[in-house]
């Protein structure tokens, strides 16, 4: 048994849900944040952990880019107090990285830092912890999913069939017998665009059918299709 995989390591957390994608830029962080807000709106005590080492965007999406979490000493251990925004506990690897410098950690160092931050955070009474995983299917992701006691994974993809190869690899990774994390379903993002002036029209800018194809192929659910929203970029930055 790996050093983290035991659920007892997280006595304050009831469920851990990972949000994953094959490629970057498909809306994984946007979905993670909105999922956290949706759960909080339903009355669940919610937390989010941004483990996207290549582009930690959670601090910006929460308006916490100048936040420096406090580190306290608890007995022998140092613990990090997560930021709190709209009742959501927020921890991001981005709080500890210089935004002007790319993350230069290699695979093993990166995954052990990511695990350590998760363990060292002083989470308090959480129904759902959402983890925004790094994109791809590489070593970092594999080690994280092997070691963190995930209760389920949600896969984010665009409708483009061409981009599905990587996404399929990540679904297969969750289903692999050594990882064995239930895939809760697929969210297809950027499914179509409807101009404000023509509300009855749908333009399938990135192709069609990728989410449904993936859900059927892996016998899971297509949980949602999210259209392109004009202004989401600006709203996210704000
Ligand atoms: P990832 O975490 O997969 O890299 P992000 O969530 O950071 O992706 O999204 C990438 C970019 O696409 C961001 O600028 C985001 O605002 C934008 N975006 C994501 N989903 C949508 C959408 N449905 N409509 C419009 N823009 C979107």
pLDDT of residue 56: 86
Residue 87: HSE in the Cβ half-sphere, 13 Å Cα cutoff: 15
pLDDT of residue 213: 94
Low-confidence ranges of the chain (pLDDT < 70): 1-7, 99, 102-104
Contact (CB, 8 A) for 63 and 85: yes
pTM comes to 0.93
Euclidean distance between CA atoms 91 and 4, whole angstroms: 18
Tens digit of pLDDT for each residue in 90-121? 999 889 887 677 666 777 788 888 999 999 99
pLDDT of residue 138: 84
Which residue from 177, 179, 103 is spatially nearest to 137, judged by alpha carbons?
A: 179
Which residue from 82, 85, 87, 53 is spatially nearest to 68, judged by alpha carbons?
A: 82
Distance 75 CA to ligand 1 centre (A): 41
Euclidean distance between CA atoms 153 and 166, whole angstroms: 16
pLDDT of residue 196: 86
Nearest CA, atom 17, ligand 1: 233
pLDDT of residue 100: 72
Please give all residues whose beta carbon lies within 6 A of any atom in ligand 1, as ranges: 21, 24-30, 55, 57, 189-190, 226, 228-229, 232-233, 236
Distance 76 CA to ligand 1 centre (A): 41
Residue 121: HSE in the Cβ half-sphere, 13 Å Cα cutoff: 29
pLDDT of residue 1: 44
Euclidean distance between CA atoms 165 and 66, whole angstroms: 37
Distance 10 CA to ligand 1 centre (A): 30
Contact (CB, 8 A) for 31 and 79: no
Structural tokens at position 121 = 């955070």
């Amino acid at each position: 048994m790996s050093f983290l995989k035991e659920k007892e390591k997280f006595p304050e957390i009831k469920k851990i849900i990972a949000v994953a994608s094959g490629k970057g830029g498909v809306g994984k962080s946007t979905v993670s944040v909105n999922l956290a807000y949706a759960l909080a709106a339903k009355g669940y005590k919610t937390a989010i952990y941004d483990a996207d080492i290549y582009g930690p965007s959670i601090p910006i999406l929460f308006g916490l880019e100048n936040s420096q979490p406090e580190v306290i000493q608890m007995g022998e251990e140092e613990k990090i107090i997560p930021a709190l925004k709209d009742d959501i506990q927020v921890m991001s690897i981005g709080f500890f990285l210089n935004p002007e410098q790319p993350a230069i950690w290699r695979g093993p160092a990166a995954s052990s830092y990511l695990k350590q931050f998760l363990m060292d955070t002083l989470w308090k009474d959480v129904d759902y912890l959402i983890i925004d995983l790094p994109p791809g299917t590489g070593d970092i992701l594999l080690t994280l999913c092997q070691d963190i006691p995930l209760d389920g994974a949600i896969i984010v993809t665009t409708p483009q069939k061409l981009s599905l190869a990587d996404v399929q690899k990540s679904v297969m990774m969750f289903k692999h017998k050594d990882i064995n994390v239930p895939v809760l379903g697929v969210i297809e993002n950027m499914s179509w665009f409807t101009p404000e002036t023509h509300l009855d029209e749908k333009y399938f800018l990135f192709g069609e059918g990728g989410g449904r194809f993936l859900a059927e192929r892996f016998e899971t659910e297509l949980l949602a299709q999210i259209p392109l929203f004009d202004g989401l970029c600006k709203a996210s930055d704000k």
